[in-house]
């Protein structure tokens, strides 16, 4: 009896944990951490490490709340798509009341932690990001316009700004450069995914770019955005917030992303779209890791 009860509790925990979209949250917290590190000259003190850890936890909680709220709004859409049909809300394993309560608790806990133990600016920016993603993007933009990813990408680009604000108490130009990198990275990243998942999006009724404007136009947009992203990825070096270590990484990664965009434009296949999507994840992760290494090595 006790073993069965324990198994049920573990299963319920996994369902709630899945609502937070752990893989997405990991990237969000990683990008926020980079913003924190870059905001502190040299090696951080123990007090600064403590603030950074609390800020990471607070941002994780609020981001998880936004993800859970997203699962409520999109449960019908998620159920129609292979990529998301496994989510507990789509399968009916968790109802709206349970999910909404879970989202509210995470948001309140995270916001309180950020306000009391980090600073009010970080709390308000994080809460604004929650509203931007959970309400403006999910409820309004996503079902309304094929430019949802472009406009809604502002919320997804906020993590390094939140991290910077947590440590510096302000939003400096360096944080805005990091914001711009993620903002321009988001469209080619998601459109590559949408290209090979186009039938899923068509069934869902969402006006994603490949559905509304076709495969060829979307491929062209992916290419153009990778070129714009290339230019913006050089800004940390041009502005003086990084040195040659980051510059080399940015050049290699950006050339690689542009090549994927070019190949995708010239000779499309679902397999190549998948590779482009996967490379986009490598691009952002390694790019920000290079900023971290550059910050401490030189």
For residues 98 and 72, what is the distance between their CA atoms, to the nearest angstrom?
10
Q: How many domains does the chain have?
A: 2
Closest CA to 206 of 191, 227, 184, 228: 191
Decide which of 155, 171, 187 is a domain's last residue: 171
Residue 12 forms part of a structural domain: no
Residue 98 shares a structural domain with residue 186: no
Chain position carrying tokens 């805005």: 176
Residue 129 shares a structural domain with residue 96: yes
Residue 152 shares a structural domain with residue 132: yes
Per-residue pLDDT in tens (0 to 9) along the chain, 298 residues: 455 544 545 577 788 888 888 888 998 999 999 999 999 988 889 999 999 999 999 999 999 999 999 888 888 877 887 777 778 888 888 888 988 999 999 999 999 999 999 999 999 999 999 998 888 888 887 788 888 888 878 888 999 999 999 999 999 999 999 999 999 999 999 999 999 999 888 887 888 899 999 999 999 999 999 999 999 999 999 999 999 999 999 999 999 999 999 999 999 999 999 999 999 999 999 999 999 999 988 6
Residue 59: domain span: 17-171
Q: What's the CATH number where 240 sits?
A: 1.20.120
For residues 298 and 286, what is the distance between their CA atoms, to the nearest angstrom?
18
Residue 138 shares a structural domain with residue 260: no
Closest CA to 147 of 200, 206, 72: 206
Query: Burial, 271: exposed, middle or buried (Cβ in 10 Å; 0-12, 13-18, 19+)?
Result: exposed
Residue 84 shares a structural domain with residue 195: no
Decide which of 116, 136, 171 is a domain's last residue: 171
Residue 23 shares a structural domain with residue 163: yes
For residues 231 and 244, what is the distance between their CA atoms, to the nearest angstrom?
16
For residues 150 and 184, what is the distance between their CA atoms, to the nearest angstrom?
8
With contact defined as beta carbons under 8 Å apart, do 130 and 107 qualify? Answer: yes
Q: How does DSSP assign 17-55, residue by residue?
A: HHHT-HHHHHHHHHHHHHHHHHHS-SSPPHHHHHHHHHH
Decide which of 134, 154, 171 is a domain's last residue: 171
């Amino acid at each position: 009896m006790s073993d069965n009860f324990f198994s049920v509790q573990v299963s319920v925990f996994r369902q709630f944990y899945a609502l937070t979209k752990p893989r997405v949250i990991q990237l969000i917290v990683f990008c926020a951490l980079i913003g924190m590190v870059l905001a502190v000259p040299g090696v951080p003190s123990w007090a600064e490490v403590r603030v950074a850890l609390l800020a990471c936890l607070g941002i994780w909680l609020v981001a998880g709340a936004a993800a859970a709220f997203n699962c409520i709004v999109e449960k019908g859409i998620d159920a129609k798509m292979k990529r998301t049909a496994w989510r507990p809300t789509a399968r009916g394993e968790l109802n709206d009341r349970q999910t909404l309560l879970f989202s509210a608790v995470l948001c309140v806990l995270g916001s309180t932690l950020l306000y009391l133990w980090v600073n009010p600016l970080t709390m308000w920016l994080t809460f604004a990001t929650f509203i931007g993603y959970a309400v403006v993007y999910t409820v309004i933009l996503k079902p309304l316009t094929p430019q949802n990813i472009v406009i809604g990408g502002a919320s997804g680009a906020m993590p390094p700004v939140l991290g910077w604000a947590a440590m510096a108490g302000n939003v400096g130009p360096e944080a805005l450069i990091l914001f711009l990198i993620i903002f321009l990275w988001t469209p080619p990243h998601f459109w590559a995914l949408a290209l090979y998942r186009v039938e899923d999006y068509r069934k869902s009724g969402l006006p994603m770019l490949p559905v509304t404007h076709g495969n060829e136009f979307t491929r062209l947009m992916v290419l153009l955005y990778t070129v714009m992203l290339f230019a913006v990825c050089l800004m940390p070096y041009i502005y003086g917030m990084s040195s040659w270590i980051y510059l080399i990484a940015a050049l290699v990664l950006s050339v690689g992303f542009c090549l994927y965009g070019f190949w995708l434009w010239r000779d499309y296949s679902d397999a190549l779209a998948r590779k482009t999507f996967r490379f986009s994840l490598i691009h952002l992760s390694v790019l920000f890791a290079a900023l971290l290494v550059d910050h401490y090595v030189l």
